[in-house]
Amino acid sequence: MSFGTEERGPPNTQDYRIFFKDAAGRYISPFHDIPIFADEAQNIFHAVVEVPRWTNAKMEIATKDALNPLKQDVKNGKLRYVANVFPHKGYIWNYGAIPQTWEDPHHRDADTGRCGDDDPIDVCDIGDKVCTPGEVIRVKVLGTLALIDEGETDWKVIAINADDPEAGRFDGRRDRRMSAGRRTATFVRSALPADLDDVRRLKPGYLEATFDWFKRYKVPDGKAENQFAFDGQFRDKDFALETVKSTHQFWKALISRETAAGELSCMNTSVSESRFCCSAEDAAAVVESACAFGAAEPIPTSVDKWFYYDK
């Protein structure tokens, strides 16, 4: 299954949008129309890349806009760029979201004690390829980190591009003894769960850097360090898979109007059982109403500033 994109508006402006198309060239929503699974039997998921590794522009799925294109977040009337907190340059993974998931703001998670953040679940691809904004990749889930962002549960799923040449080495094959109960496991040989132990073994320092990045990335904006559930410990693959699949169930309730959508746009072109499903003509009209693609504006030089943090 392949997907394409169409740019509208000048890049690096508040009018810039990236709209999505299916293989037939029909406009779609990356939030609702791209299937969650690339291979359900193998637990391989689709992921929409919002921010490529080493870049700073806070691109994101516009959950409140018709067809949910990618656009850059705006803060205090200006385009938002994430600060470089030494030694991290921009985002340290291909950062994005898993489609057809939703962290329900009405649901209080039993483990974190906090409600969801009203967005699709976030994913951090640790594969070697540097992707492009709007690229749709297939990912293999390895674990998750539970960020508490402004009082809300904001899961960060750790994954690797399934097409990465090294993806097969992240197999989590260790002797382990499973214990009864929700999302629990005791691992015999590894201090970390097996799949995450593979990350530490094959990409040493990446998990520690990921925790550090999420803890401190808002400090240059004058905010406090972020907090985490589970004392900042990563949860294993089985836990992460259950979390992703539970957010898919929340999305199903959203798209079928079992749960109030609030300000979210559920406009889609392929979810036939959804009352929000629209025609190809209606979808095309949304794209045509957007600004024409134009020359990019320069990125502010302030984006290159480094911030140093006394830990």
pLDDT digits (tens, 9 = 90+) for 119-159: 999 999 999 999 999 999 999 999 999 999 989 999 999 99
At 195 the pLDDT is 79
Q: Which amino acid is at 221?
A: D
CB within 8 Å of 30: residues ≥ 6 apart = 20, 48, 61, 68, 69, 70, 97, 99, 134, 136
Q: What is each CA distance from 238 to 47, 74, 131, 178, 182, in whole angstroms?
A: 18, 35, 26, 11, 10
* Mean pLDDT of the 271-280 span: 92
Partners of residue 71 on adjacent β-strands? 60
Q: For residue 99, give the DSSP letter.
A: T
H/E stretch holding 287: helix 280-288
pLDDT digits (tens, 9 = 90+) for 192-207: 556 799 999 999 999 9
At 193 the pLDDT is 57
Domains in the chain (CATH in brackets) are 4-295 (3.90.80.10)
pLDDT digits (tens, 9 = 90+) for 62-103: 999 999 999 999 999 999 999 999 999 999 999 999 999 999
At 192 the pLDDT is 55
When pLDDT is cut at 50, 70 and 90, the band that residue 186 belongs to is: very low
DSSP one-letter string for 78-94: EE-B--EETT--S-SSE
Report d(CA 77, CA 276) in Å as an integer.
Answer: 31
